[in-house]
Amino acid sequence: MAQAEDKRIWNNLPITIVLPVNKEVRVTFPTDVSIQIPEIIAGNLESLAPNQQMVYWKAKSPFDSQRIIATSSDNEAVYLVDLVASENQISNEPILIEDPNRLVAE
């Protein structure tokens, strides 16, 4: 059964994502991005990007809020993510970040 996605709307304010420790979370951005991860958490965060729009993050241990910068490949947008890892976080539901300025016509 497919897991529901937690939709987050980009409104030009940082989006907080709380990762459970030792559980992988998929985050999908509204467009291709280049992700900058602070060096202070690089050793505590496994990061796998199968493509430029999606990343799987897994925290190895808890850490306090750290700012992740995801810059769109066309340089039209910069998405700010405040990433936290907590032993108390249970959900590892996939997260979909939607940008109202990048809606695709169906």
pTM assigned to the model: 0.90
Q: What is the pLDDT of residues 3-16, one digit of tens each?
A: 678 999 999 999 99
Q: Which residues pair with 97 in a beta bridge?
A: 8
Phi, psi of 63 (to 5 degrees): -150, 155
Rounded to the nearest 10°, the torsion over CA 99, 101, 104, 106 is 100
- What is the distance between the alpha carbons of residues 90 and 18, in angstroms, rounded to a whole number? 9
- C-alpha distances in Å from residue 44, one per residue of 21, 75, 83: 10, 28, 12
Render pLDDT for 31-90 as a digit per residue (tens, 0 to 9): 999 999 999 999 999 999 999 999 999 999 999 999 999 999 999 999 999 999 999 988
